[in-house]
Amino acid sequence: MSEHDFSSLHVVTHPLLQHKLSLMRDRKTPPILFRQLLREISLLLGYEVTRDLPLTTERIETPLVEMEAPVLACPLSIVSILRAGLGMAEGLQQLIPSAREGHIGLYRDPETKKPHEYFLKLPENPGRVLLVDPMLATGGSAAHAVDVLLRNGIAREDLRLVTLVCAPEGVQVFAKAHPDVPIYTAALDEKLNEKAYILPGLGDAGDRLFGTL
């Protein structure tokens, strides 16, 4: 793939989504509203991310007749990268209440600078997996999280990365490591700053979500 291939990136645009994201970006937005908006946007993103879920049919009886009714053909799981991913998982869980949940906790080794997992719990038979992390900044954690999922038996074609805001640098790193894993996001921002924060971005999503500023 070329150095600037964004073909796996899907930027979901919708006036409601863009309006809500602007509210989230505003530094004056308090954690309680930030959390609510992240939940709402995740729900809207989830609608697009799940558009290609396979269906099968089940014979049911309506109050009037029998019919072959379309139902989801496979389970779905939401895997959050801790801790900011939890805020997105809330919204997706509201959209798909039958979804199973998993969690990956990662930290950056101060010596090697490489991500390592300190926590991992995945559902059995996860089916389609939505890996969630609001900020795709350097792309290192998300790429590593996919490595972890693949190592744990999840098929590449079952994976989708769901983010809120991406930096071009993060998209490049992730797409180079996993060109066949689609990325869904509400915004592709300008760039990373020297501290690896996304510009214009919205600051530290975990801190804003949990009020730990």
| Residue ranges in contact with ligand URA by CB under 6 A | 84, 135, 137, 197-198, 201, 204-206
Given 62, 112, 151, 180, the catalytic residue: 112
Which residue, 89 or 99, has its beta carbon nearer to ligand URA? 89
Secondary element (H or E) of residue 145: helix 140-151
127 known ligand binder: no
Residue owning tokens 């993103």:
45
Which residue, 38 or 78, has its beta carbon nearer to ligand URA? 38
Pairing of strands 128-132, 159-162: parallel
State the amino acid at position 201 in one-letter form. G
| Gap between the Cα atoms of 160 and 146, Å rounded | 9
153 known ligand binder: no
Which residue, 40 or 189, has its beta carbon nearer to ligand URA? 189
**Closest distance to ligand URA from the beta carbon of 120 (Å):** 20
Backbone region of residue 16 per phi and psi (left: phi > 0; alpha: psi in -120 to 50; beta: other values): alpha
205 known ligand binder: yes
| 204 has catalytic annotation | yes
138 known ligand binder: yes
Sheet harboring 187-188: ordered strands across?
A: 135-136, 165-166, 187-188
CA distances from 95 to 38, 42, 78 (A): 13, 9, 11
| 112 has catalytic annotation | yes
| 109 has catalytic annotation | no
98 known ligand binder: no
Given a contact cutoff of 8 angstroms between Cβ atoms, the answer to whether 83 and 134 are in contact is no
Length of the chain: 213
Given 29, 147, 158, 204, the catalytic residue: 204
Given 25, 29, 108, 158, the catalytic residue: 108
| 108 has catalytic annotation | yes
Tokens found for residue 180: 């066949």
Please name which of 194, 133, 190 lies closest in space to residue 164, comparing C-alpha atoms: 133
Which residue, 5 or 190, has its beta carbon nearer to ligand URA? 190
**Closest distance to ligand URA from the beta carbon of 116 (Å):** 18
**Closest distance to ligand URA from the beta carbon of 201 (Å):** 4
Which residue, 96 or 136, has its beta carbon nearer to ligand URA? 136
140 known ligand binder: yes
Tokens found for residue 91: 């919204």
| Gap between the Cα atoms of 23 and 65, Å rounded | 47
Please report, in range form, the residues annotated as the binding site for 5-phospho-alpha-D-ribose 1-diphosphate: 83, 108, 133-141, 204
Give the residue numbers marked as catalytic: 108, 112, 204, 207
Please report, in range form, the residues annotated as the binding site: 83, 108, 133-141, 198, 203-205
